[in-house]
Amino acid sequence: MCRQRGEALCKKAGWGILSCRLSANGLHRTMIRLFRNKELQNLWEGKRSRIDARFQTRILRRLDALAAASVAEDVNLPGFNFHGLLGFNPTRYTIHVNGPWSITFEFDAGDAQRVDFEQYHQEDANDLSRSRTLPDASG
């Protein structure tokens, strides 16, 4: 409900839905600028998403925190298992969702960039078919 009310206020303010959110402190522009994962973007925009419904509430809670963040460390919250990933320039960060699934992102000039939903830990490094496939309700 808050998301729907926020969308209406964002439109009234002349802001796009992606760049706006409603919180207890009022209306704010978000800091998520670019999604790498189309299904994650669809979920954030309130559209139909193939991401498993069991994950959606947790994902939206994390995206809300990410949108409100002004620096990456702002999402270092209990239960999010926030940490930087090694070997990326610029630095990519991750917040845990469920099992091997995480939201990964970069932060640049106060904005979350290239936000993705992926499993970056692989049981078998040679089996790339498991990497970056979306869990869906069918299995």
- Any catalytic annotation for residue 121? yes
DSSP output for 60-109: HHHHHHHHH-SSGGGG--TTS--EEETT-SSPEEEEEEETTEEEEEEEET
Q: Are 48 and 42 in contact (CB under 8 A)?
A: yes
Which phi-psi region, left, alpha or beta, contains residue 114 (left: φ > 0; alpha: ψ -120 to 50)?
Answer: left
Selecting among 28, 83, 96, 121, the annotated active-site residue is 121
Q: Which residue has the tokens 């995480």?
A: 102
Cα 106 from chain centroid?
Answer: 11
Residues annotated as catalytic are 121
